[in-house]
Structure 1
Amino acid sequence: MSSRVSSTPAAAEDATEDAAEDAAERAPLKDDDDDREDKAHAQDADDELIPLPGKGPDILRVVDSLLSLHVVAPLVISTWRGLFEMFQLYPGIPDWALAAFGAVLHSGLALSRDLFMTTFDCRRYPEPTRNFVKVLTRCYTYVFMVACVTHWRGLWFLLDLLGTSPAVVGLVWAMSAASLFALRSWRNTMAPPLVVAQDGPDYVFSFSFRFRSDSSRQTLLYILDCLFSVLVVHTLVVFVWRGGWCIFDIYLFPRHYAWSAWGSLTLGYCITIVAFSLQPCMMSVVQRMSGCCRVLVVDMYHLFSFVGTVNVWRGVWNLLNHYLLPGNPVASYWISHLLPFLLLVLLNSANSILVRGVYIDAEEEGGQCVEFPIYYLRLFFQNRRRKKLMRQHALGKRPPGSHKTTLLDNNHQQNHSPSPPSSRKSSKEQPLQPCLSHGLSHGMSHPHHHNLRVQLPAQLPASYKDIPESPV
């Protein structure tokens, strides 16, 4: 599937940023030396992360993790649950039709990725058209979510035709998991709270396929790559999720629905917190490894994290079924679906809902392949810093300080590529960027923030370097 604070302050500065850009265009040209020096200062400052007063960057990482665990993840799960369960109200729609509809729509949106990226880049439009384009990007996110949910629901219940006995469930899970490990695609099972994606043109339309084909040079291979990613890799991800979910249905308080839900929630949060806590240690270990051993260790860590993620989803989902208007399922489903989606839009994280893109296990250098792509407050402060520098440049001022002030220690300044995510192209291709995902790869979106042009703590994966700033 393969992951917090409101973005309103950042959005409120859009008008100021636009005015600064216009002023910069009208400003008299400075001599080349001064201009180069200003740009150097701006780039240095752009590489810095602004920490909270009196705190190091680690506090932002902790706050980002807490926001993901307690805000973004429950909202994403609730949004999925509302639409997923709503199809129970329409028993006349066959599961194979839902699966086919979701697969076709998902494939079509994926194949049109570059077209949407160019057309709906709101930075290409003046006001008020820009705001209208931003609304359209949220509509795109919603349509993509419908594709993901219908695809997942159709495949999920088609598997019931094979039976729900422990032996069948375990066998299907084992075969699907082995296939993902063989394809080096296990990381695509990651979802919130281990993946959080931002909204905006640099994130909404950016995700990669399994073989990183280039649409401009390899059209046929690009189409085949897209279809393989959607119809094979994502199908295997659904099978793995269903298997893990059903195993806990069978063995975790099977006769007590509420106990089972609370048990899953408790187990999921405990495992997830442990997974977050192990990140520094795992990064240090993986940095010193290479080859198959490195891939194996990374996959085992992600497998452990996957167990926590499935239980968080199962716990929140079943608790909503049990406590949210159980006597009025129609109202329960609509409230569960629409309200959290609107809140995610306001939080600038609706992209976390999507399950798209394919990301390769242990693809990044160093230990960054085991870092979960949860950059919310860190991106928020980085964007504010960027806008401040733009205003200073528009007024003809140099960035404060004549030397670079490094806020991150040397261990945090290693370069590194989605997780949770070309639009995720290989490092040899021109980056288009994403999220995300693994980019769920989320509602599970992995929207893994790809190509970030910021120096964040804990080394962003290479896939996150050089991402242009989101204007949202």
Structure 2
Amino acid sequence: MEHISNASFAVLDFLMSFVVVSPCVVFFWRGSWGILDVYLYPNQMELSAWICFAYGNFVMILTGLVQKYSTKINKLKNVVFYFVLSRLYIYILATGSVAQWRGIWNLQDYYTGKTWHSALSSFVIGSGVICCLRCVKSIMAAAPLLVAHDTDHVKLFRITGILGSKVSCSPWFIVDMMMTPLLLHTLIVVFWRGLWTLMNICLYPEDNVQSGLFSLVASLALAYPTLIGQHFIMSFVKKQGHKNKICVVLILNLYLVMASCLPVAHWRGIWTLQDVWLIPENKAISVWMSHTIGFLGGVLVLSAKSIPVSGCLLDRNIGKDNRRLVDITYFKKIRDYICFQENVKSQNSFNGKEKTKQENENKPIEFTFITHL
């Protein structure tokens, strides 16, 4: 029965990630990106891109530097205040993330063009440099291959860096929080932009419906080898250890780059189909609807933290623990969280009864007429 239960949770988690969470994420990104296209100097692409680049990096760096103080939101006992402030934090981080990506993406389009030469070089440079930095897992850390839970209070305000520094006021930590968005996130956008543009050029460029559907189907076709292949890769990494380190790194990088193509194709499919089917005659209304539905949907399913792209995932940590390469667990985590809370309550209740019993046993007997009798 346990195997049947685990299999059921695996199917439900897959559907939740690919059908619910990832569309909400893409809806928000497409809407936020479109809002900036409509209102932020629409006729001056270069200026608009530089403003987004500056604002986005400012938000990403600032949220990383102040996480020592933002984590104090977890200590709020008022549920309403905690909910509003935590979701406001996610919203600011998400809008900053979108602005950063739009700035980098449009600056590349402006200065290098949208040719296949530019796209291919962007894809090769992005993947090559990130492989050298051993941060390829950060490329695939997006829906539908990553589902972040808003109930995870520990990770909700935690932003990791490329240097792996601990939260402090040290210069090393400051450099880490600046280098991660300025270097790593820029390279991730370079990779995504290269692959996305290549798909625009090669996949039915004259028919957006067919192009979007083909991209979506391609992402679903990659899902099975990606989800199943992670178990073989993890087993291989743990088995080899330090014996064939170069071979391990090459095979791991090959798998991670292949897996990173899945979210790009998935996002592009949903994004393109929205452009075609979601009120195409009025872009302003379309993008505002997309923006609103995406964020409210993420909040309602308790996965709004999946929207922003922040922090860094280091490849050198792969194989050192039992964590999966692809984490799309949703219902299983909720079940485990509920079971954990019930165990804590029952344990506290048991400890409270034992404590009361001990206090009563150790309590001195008052000498009264009744006790004397």
**TM-score interval, smaller chain:** 0.7 to 0.9
Equivalent runs, 1:195-274 vs 2, <5 Å: 195-200=146-151, 201-216=153-168, 219-274=170-225
What's the offset of the Cα at 1:247?
0.5
Alpha-carbon separation, structure 2, partners of 1:368 and 1:169: 36
Alpha-carbon separation, structure 1, partners of 2:315 and 2:81: 38
What's the offset of the Cα at 1:316?
0.4
Aligned to 1:120: 73
Contact 1:252 1:263 in 2 (8 A): yes
Q: Which moved more, 1:103-112 or 1:276-285?
A: 276-285
The AA in structure 2 aligned to 1:108 is L
The AA in structure 2 aligned to 1:283 is M
Aligned to 1:70: 19
Q: Of residues 124, 141, 145 in structure 2, which corresponds to 1:174?
A: 124
Alpha-carbon separation, structure 1, partners of 2:321 and 2:254: 14
Over 3 Å counting, the alpha-carbon distance change for 1:285 and 1:56 in structure 2 is farther
Aligned to 2:299: 345
Aligned to 1:145: 94
Equivalent runs, 1:157-172 vs 2, <5 Å: 157-160=106-109, 161-172=111-122
**Aligned residues: CA RMSD:** 2.0
What's the offset of the Cα at 1:281?
2.8
What's the offset of the Cα at 1:296?
1.8
* SS of residue matched to 2:85: helix
Contact 1:363 1:369 in 2 (8 A): no
Equivalent runs, 1:22-41 vs 2, <5 Å: none
Structure 2: give runs of 5+ residues left out of the alignment. 353-373
Alpha-carbon separation, structure 2, partners of 1:286 and 1:59: 28
The AA in structure 2 aligned to 1:289 is Q
Aligned to 1:36: none
Alpha-carbon separation, structure 1, partners of 2:236 and 2:349: 47
Q: Of residues 302, 314, 330 in structure 1, which corresponds to 2:268?
A: 314
Q: Which moved more, 1:243-252 or 1:63-72?
A: 63-72
Equivalent runs, 1:284-295 vs 2, <5 Å: 284-290=235-241, 291-295=245-249
Over 3 Å counting, the alpha-carbon distance change for 1:292 and 1:368 in structure 2 is farther
Alpha-carbon separation, structure 1, partners of 2:224 and 2:29: 23
Alpha-carbon separation, structure 2, partners of 1:185 and 1:391: 40
What's the offset of the Cα at 1:362?
4.1
What's the offset of the Cα at 1:311?
0.7
What's the offset of the Cα at 1:258?
1.4
Aligned to 1:188: 138
Q: Does 1:107 align with 2:66?
A: no
TM-score for the superposition, normalised by structure 1: 0.69
Over 3 Å counting, the alpha-carbon distance change for 1:53 and 1:295 in structure 2 is closer
Over 3 Å counting, the alpha-carbon distance change for 1:368 and 1:310 in structure 2 is farther
Contact 1:113 1:206 in 2 (8 A): yes
What's the offset of the Cα at 1:378?
1.6
The AA in structure 1 aligned to 2:4 is K
The AA in structure 1 aligned to 2:309 is V
Contact 1:196 1:374 in 2 (8 A): yes
* SS of residue matched to 1:395: helix
Alpha-carbon separation, structure 2, partners of 1:367 and 1:167: 40
**Count of equivalent residues:** 341
Q: Of residues 244, 247, 253 in structure 2, which corresponds to 1:299?
A: 253
Equivalent runs, 1:419-458 vs 2, <5 Å: none
* SS of residue matched to 2:343: helix
Equivalent runs, 1:457-472 vs 2, <5 Å: none
What's the offset of the Cα at 1:99?
0.7
Alpha-carbon separation, structure 2, partners of 1:125 and 1:132: 7
Alpha-carbon separation, structure 2, partners of 1:311 and 1:367: 29
The AA in structure 2 aligned to 1:120 is I
Aligned to 1:135: 84
What's the offset of the Cα at 1:286?
2.7
Aligned to 1:380: 334
What's the offset of the Cα at 1:369?
6.4
Alpha-carbon separation, structure 2, partners of 1:153 and 1:246: 14
Alpha-carbon deviations, 1:61-92, whole Å to 9, x = none?
33212211111111111111111112121215
Task: Indicate the structure (1 or 2) with the bigger Cα radius of gyration.
Answer: 2
TM-score for the superposition, normalised by structure 2: 0.86
What's the offset of the Cα at 1:175?
1.6
Q: Does 1:59 align with 2:8?
A: yes
Alpha-carbon separation, structure 2, partners of 1:294 and 1:54: 31
> More helix by proportion, 1 or 2?
2
Alpha-carbon separation, structure 2, partners of 1:54 and 1:305: 26
Alpha-carbon deviations, 1:329-348, whole Å to 9, x = none?
11111111111211211111
Aligned to 1:334: 288
Alpha-carbon separation, structure 2, partners of 1:187 and 1:383: 26
Over 3 Å counting, the alpha-carbon distance change for 1:181 and 1:370 in structure 2 is farther
The AA in structure 2 aligned to 1:382 is D
Structure 1: give runs of 5+ residues left out of the alignment. 1-51, 399-472
What's the offset of the Cα at 1:142?
0.2
